């Protein structure tokens, strides 16, 4: 039980201090970025027999590698253009464990 309290404290502190990161690629729309992340998530699900209840290290590494292969990079909110549309990371424990601890950002869809 103590480990969950510590984990929650660390996650909360991280998000409060602005270390949230977003997948972003110059010239790509928000919708394109969200779709790329959804495609990576679908690929991840193919590789998991059952979503694990342990640390999401594999899931997070897979998502970061997949998005990088699609040309996206991780940037902090401060490095995003001011006019970029963004969706904040999933800050729930489930989001952290299952590869959704990064937000998405891109140009506003027309």
Confidence (pLDDT) at 17: 42
Strands (E) in the chain, as ranges, are: 21-24, 73-76, 85-87, 103-106
Q: Is the pLDDT of residue 78 over 60?
A: yes
Q: What is the pLDDT of residues 28-48, one digit of tens each?
A: 999 999 999 999 989 988 888
Q: What is the pLDDT of residues 9-24, one digit of tens each?
A: 666 655 544 568 899 9
Confidence (pLDDT) at 16: 47
Task: For the chain, give every domain's residue range.
Answer: 20-106
């Amino acid at each position: 039980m103590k480990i969950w309290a510590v984990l929650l404290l660390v996650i909360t502190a991280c998000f409060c201090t602005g270390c949230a990161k977003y997948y972003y690629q110059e010239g790509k729309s928000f919708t394109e970025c969200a779709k790329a992340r959804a495609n990576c998530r679908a690929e991840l699900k193919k590789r998991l027999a059952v979503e694990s209840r342990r640390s999401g290290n594999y899931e997070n590494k897979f998502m970061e590698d997949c998005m990088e292969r699609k040309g996206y990079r991780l940037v902090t909110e401060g490095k995003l253009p001011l006019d970029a549309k963004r969706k904040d990371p999933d800050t729930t424990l489930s989001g952290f464990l299952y590869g959704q601890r990064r937000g998405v950002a891109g140009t506003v869809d027309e």
